[in-house]
């Protein structure tokens, strides 16, 4: 057989071979990535100061404290910091437990649904219903059944974060092309082999997309749950409630910043895992955002 | 049906007919035999049931009439798309079928190396499909089937999506593999010159319902050189096939 010609190597090939970027190019890339959000961030801080000192009368300044005093009171004050970080940890714990349960449950349900159309038809409407229930509407029920402690917070977290995992995992499992299924059929692959070697790897990009959404939602779930069910260790939700009631503007904003930071960190962690797991082969190789 | 063959024939279609549930008659009275050392190409208008026939041969479809005798234990099948698993590297993709057939790891490695060498993809073992060109993907797909050392190779219009020069090259490589490995080949294509260049025999199919309307033996010696395409006899044969194909359209 003749040799494969050089020109069969595609542009993609060339692209991946330039992965080792030279130094100036790399710096340029970082500048392009980080400068625009920094400029916008500086603008937002400027607007913040303008509203605090330019628009709000001194008496009403508690509505939006200046950023330096938020940092000073919310993060640099030892007592406040310890209290907020403890609350943050408690909420993180709830989010992690809730997310783990959602992942486990979501995978099992999605795999079951992928194996038989009958099961998909049976289960899916209830998942949509579960997703559509406003959490507020079932808060009383949850406290009836599970009390007002950590269990209830975790339940809220699961209800909020389960759906994207199921939908994305199921969609992913069903995403392998027909030709690939034919290939496995031709070579007598059994159900389990097909699931393990074809459907599950094909589903990974979608699974990670679902995980990222659900990870963010689990943080929201943990905070919302904490807001309603305050028994036991206080989470970020309880802190928000407390500071809002006492008109502690600085602490309140600090807690808001902490909760969104938690959401962003969780989102980024899953983005990094996604890149590690599917970045090498997936066509839409999304960068960690 | 599907019984193992004791004779030299690798594939036997006996009066195959296919009517789909929606009433479309795709194939009618298809009978022919394919033995090892034969490379038969079917040409025909779009929608004449060529791919359906291949699916019947492979067992992906059951015919509504007639019977097919074929040994499907180690079937080579090359799809229209390369159908590579994007999460596997070239060598892992090539290894797949041997894995599905339960061949042990050491022997698999040996087979993978041999097959990659046969299709000339050495050096690309650790590349993912997304960084391969269309032609290289097809080579990888060929290598994957070659690991099974298939006695029968089915090709479902595999080179339709690559450019002309790559296609000609793949044609040259395929006929060389056929000579080297000695499988029986059943190839489907729209391209007359591709058909004549590679095959021992060309069958012309009619528009739907697909029937065999003409048969041409291709006498050229293997291995066939690229410049065979400029040979007068080659052009004459292509012309005859073309005429038959035009006739089948009307």
Residue A62 pLDDT greater than 60, yes or no: yes
What is B1-74+152-250's CATH superfamily? P-loop containing nucleotide triphosphate hydrolases (3.40.50.300)
Task: Report CA Rg, chain A.
Answer: 24
Contact B200, B218 (CB under 8 A): yes
Tell me the nearest-neighbour CA distance from A111 into chain B, angstroms: 20
pTM for the model stands at 0.82
Model confidence at B43: pLDDT above 80? yes
Angle between helices A236-245 and A78-115 (to 10 degrees): 130
Q: Say how far apart CA A168 and CA A93 lie, in whole Å.
A: 24
CB contact under 8 A, B176 and A1: yes
pLDDT at A98: 95
- Split at pLDDT 50, 70, 90, the class of A157 is very high
Q: According to the model, what pLDDT value does residue A119 have?
A: 93
- Tell me, what's the pLDDT at B202? 93
In chain A, alpha helices (H): 11-17, 23-49, 67-69, 78-115, 117-132, 135-146, 150-173, 178-186, 191-194, 200-228, 236-245, 249-278
Domains and CATH numbers, chain A: 1-64 (no CATH), 67-278 (1.10.3720.10)
Biggest CA–CA distance in chain B, Å, is 55
**Average pLDDT rounded to a whole number, residues A140-160:** 91
Give the whole-angstrom CA distance, residue A244 versus residue A63. Answer: 10
User: What is the H or E stretch that residue B166 is in?
Assistant: helix B164-181
Give the DSSP letter string of B86-102. Answer: TTS-HHHHHHHHHHHTT
List CB contacts (< 8 A) between A281 and chain B: 86-88, 128-130
Q: Which residue has the higher pLDDT, B222 or A102?
A: A102
Q: Is the pLDDT of residue B6 over 70?
A: no
Residue B199 has pLDDT above 80, yes or no: yes
Nearest C-alpha neighbor of B41 from the set B182, B209, B157: B157
CA distances, A75 to each of A69, A93, A99, A135, A247 (Å):
9, 21, 28, 31, 17
Which of A222, A134, A133, A212 lies closest to A169 in space, CA to CA? A212
Q: Please tell me the predicted confidence (pLDDT) of residue B93.
A: 94
Least confident piece of the model among A27-41, A274-288, B52-66, B171-185: A274-288
Confidence at residue A170, expressed as pLDDT on a 0 to 100 scale: 95
Q: Which of A161, A116, A146, A124 is nearest to A232 (CA)?
A: A146
Query: Which of these ranges, A108-117, A224-233, B36-45, B190-199, has the smallest mean pLDDT?
Result: A224-233
Look over chain A and give the mean of its residue pLDDT values, rounded to a whole number: 86
- Say what the pLDDT of residue B99 is: 92
Higher local confidence (pLDDT), B199 or A1: B199
Segments making up each domain of chain B, as ranges:
1-74+152-250, 84-149
Q: Round to the nearest angstrom and report the end-to-end CA distance of chain B.
A: 34
Q: What is the mean pLDDT of chain B?
A: 88
Tell me the shortest Cα–Cα distance from B100 to chain A, in angstroms: 6
Mean pLDDT on A146-173: 93
Token pair recorded at residue A38: 């920094």
* Helix, strand, or coil (residue A128): helix
pLDDT value at B79 more than 60: yes
pLDDT per residue as tens digits for the range B134-143: 889 999 998 9
Rounded Cα distance, B207 and B87, in Å: 39
pLDDT for res B246: 87
* pLDDT range class, residue A96, cuts 50, 70, 90: very high
CA–CA dist A198, A175 (Å, integer): 10
Using CB atoms within 10 A of its CB, is residue B205 exposed (0-12), middle (13-18) or buried (19+)? buried
Which phi and psi (to 5°) does residue A134 adopt? -70, 130
Average pLDDT over residues A257-283: 87
Position A1 confidence tier, pLDDT thresholds 50, 70, 90: very low
What are the chain B neighbours of A201 within 8 Å (beta carbons)? 85, 87
Work out the pLDDT band at B94, boundaries 50, 70, 90: very high
The residue whose two tokens read 């917070």 is A153
CB B216 within 8 A of CB B234: no
Reference A90, options A225, A249, A269; nearest CA is: A225
Instruction: Identify the pLDDT of residue A18.
Output: 47
The whole-number pLDDT of residue A2 equals 45
CA-CA-CA-CA dihedral for B65, B69, B70, B73, to nearest 10: 90
pLDDT score at A249: 83
Name the residue of chain A whose CA is nearest to B176's CA: A1
Average pLDDT over residues A99-111: 95
d(CA B29, CA B65): 9
**Chain B residues within an 8 Å CB radius of A13:** 127, 131-133
d(Cα B137, Cα B115) in Å, to the nearest integer? 14
ipTM confidence: 0.88
**Tens digit of pLDDT for each residue in A199-223?**
999 999 999 999 999 999 999 999 9
Q: Which of A9, A186, A280 sits opposite B133 (nearest CB)?
A: A9
pLDDT in tens, A4-58: 444 444 444 444 444 455 677 788 888 888 999 999 999 999 999 999 888 888 8
User: Can you give the pLDDT at residue A44?
Assistant: 94
Q: Cβ distance B222 to B173 under 8 Å? A: no
Query: What is the percent of chain B with per-residue pLDDT over 90, rounded to a whole number?
Result: 37
How far is B5 from A231, CA to CA, in rounded Å? 75
Residue of A10, A177, A281 with shortest CB distance to B83: A177
pLDDT at position A287 is 42
Do residues A221 and A238 lie in contact, with contact meaning Cβ atoms separated by under 8 Å?
Answer: no
Share of chain A above pLDDT 90, in %: 47
Write down the pLDDT at residue B169: 86
| Number of A–B residue contacts, CB under 8 Å | 88
Residue A188 has pLDDT above 50, yes or no: yes
Task: Give the Cα separation of A142 and A152 in Å (integer).
Answer: 6
CB B60 to CB A197 under 8 A?
no
Nearest to A193 among B100, B120, B128 (CB): B100
A170-180 per-residue burial string, b: 16 or more CB within 10 A, e: under 16: bbbbeebeeeb
Verify whether the Cβ–Cβ distance A281 to B119 is below 8 Å.
no
């Amino acid at each position: 057989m003749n040799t494969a010609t050089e020109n069969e190597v595609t542009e993609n090939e060339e692209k991946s071979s330039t992965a080792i970027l030279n130094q100036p190019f790399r710096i340029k890339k970082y500048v392009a990535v980080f400068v625009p959000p920094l400029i916008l961030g500086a603008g937002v801080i400027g607007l913040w100061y303008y509203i605090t000192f330019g628009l709000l009368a001194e008496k009403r300044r508690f509505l939006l404290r200046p950023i330096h005093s938020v940092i000073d009171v919310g993060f640099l004050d030892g007592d406040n910091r310890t209290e907020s970080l403890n609350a943050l940890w408690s909420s993180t714990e709830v989010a992690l437990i809730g997310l783990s349960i959602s992942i486990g449950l979501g995978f099992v349900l999605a795999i079951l649904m992928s194996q038989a159309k009958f099961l998909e038809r049976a289960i899916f409407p209830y998942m949509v219903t579960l997703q559509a229930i406003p959490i507020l509407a079932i808060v009383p029920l949850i406290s009836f059944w599970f009390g007002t402690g950590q269990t209830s917070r975790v339940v809220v977290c699961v209800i909020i974060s389960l759906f994207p995992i199921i939908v994305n995992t199921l969609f992913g499992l069903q995403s392998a092309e027909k030709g690939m299924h034919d290939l496995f059929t031709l070579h007598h692959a059994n159900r389990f082999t097909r699931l393990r070697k074809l459907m599950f790897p094909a589903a990974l990009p979608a699974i990670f997309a679902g995980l990222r959404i659900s990870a963010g939602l689990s943080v929201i779930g943990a905070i919302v749950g904490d807001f309603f069910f305050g028994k036991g260790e206080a989470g970020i939700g309880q802190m928000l409630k407390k500071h809002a009631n006492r008109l502690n503007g600085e602490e309140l904003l600090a807690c808001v910043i902490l909760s969104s930071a938690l959401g962003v960190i969780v989102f980024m962690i899953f983005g990094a895992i996604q890149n590690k797991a599917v970045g090498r082969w997936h066509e839409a190789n999304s960068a960690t955002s | 049906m599907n019984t193992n063959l004791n004779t030299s024939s690798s594939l036997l279609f006996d009066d195959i007919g296919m009517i789909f549930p929606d009433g479309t008659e795709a194939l009618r009275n298809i009978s022919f035999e394919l033995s090892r050392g034969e490379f038969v190409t079917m040409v025909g208008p779009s929608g004449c049931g060529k791919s359906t026939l291949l699916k019947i041969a492979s067992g992906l479809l059951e015919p509504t009439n007639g019977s097919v005798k074929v040994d499907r234990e180690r079937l080579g099948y090359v799809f229209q798309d390369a159908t590579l698993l994007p999460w596997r590297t070239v060598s892992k993709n090539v290894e797949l079928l041997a894995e599905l057939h339960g061949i042990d790891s050491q022997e698999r490695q040996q087979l993978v190396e041999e097959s990659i060498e046969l299709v000339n993809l050495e050096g690309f073992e650790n590349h993912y499909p997304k960084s391969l060109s269309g032609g290289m993907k097809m080579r990888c797909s060929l290598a994957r089937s070659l690991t099974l050392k298939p006695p029968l190779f089915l090709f479902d219009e595999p080179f339709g999506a690559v450019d002309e020069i790559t296609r000609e090259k793949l044609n040259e490589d395929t006929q060389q593999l056929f000579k080297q490995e000695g499988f029986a080949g059943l190839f489907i294509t729209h391209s007359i010159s591709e058909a004549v260049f590679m095959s021992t025999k060309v069958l012309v199919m009619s528009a739907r319902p697909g029937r065999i309307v003409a048969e041409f033996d291709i006498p050229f010696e293997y291995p066939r050189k690229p410049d065979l395409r400029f040979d007068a006899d080659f052009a004459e044969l292509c012309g005859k096939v073309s005429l038959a194909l035009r006739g089948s359209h009307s």
